[in-house]
Amino acid sequence: MSITVTTKINYVEFTSPALEQTQAFFTEAFGWDYVDYGPDYKDIGGAGTGGGIERGALRPPLIVLETDDLDAMLAKVKAAGGKITQEIFTFPGGRRFQFKEPGGTELAVWTQG
């Protein structure tokens, strides 16, 4: 059975143990601006695609896909062999889950609301 849902790259999350310095660098070097979501998360504006910086241990950037049907996409990811690393959870603005594709890259899928 094939499930048709819309999915596109929508957001990139960075981590930084030095959040304020990373934010200042991106502002000075690229002219990006920010919306603060507490002391540990900055939403990036003006970068051409959505993005954010989370205070935390350094890890590769997380590519976030947007879908119009999160539950159907979770089922498709599992059926295709993805390993779920975080089950569906809510956050301000939506819901998402995270997974690793068979080659090991971690990605996330989210939906608004």
pLDDT computed for residue 3 by the predictor: 55
The reported pTM is 0.84
pLDDT computed for residue 4 by the predictor: 63
How far apart (Å, rounded) are the C-alpha atoms in residues 75 and 91?
21
Assign residue 68 a region: left if phi > 0, alpha if psi is -120 to 50, beta otherwise? alpha
Architecture of the 7-112 domain: Roll (3.10)
pLDDT computed for residue 105 by the predictor: 94
The tens digit of pLDDT for each residue in 40-59 reads 999 999 999 999 999 999 99
pLDDT in tens, the chain (113 residues): 555 677 889 999 999 999 999 999 999 999 999 999 999 999 999 999 999 999 999 999 999 999 999 999 999 999 999 999 999 999 988 999 999 999 999 999 999 98
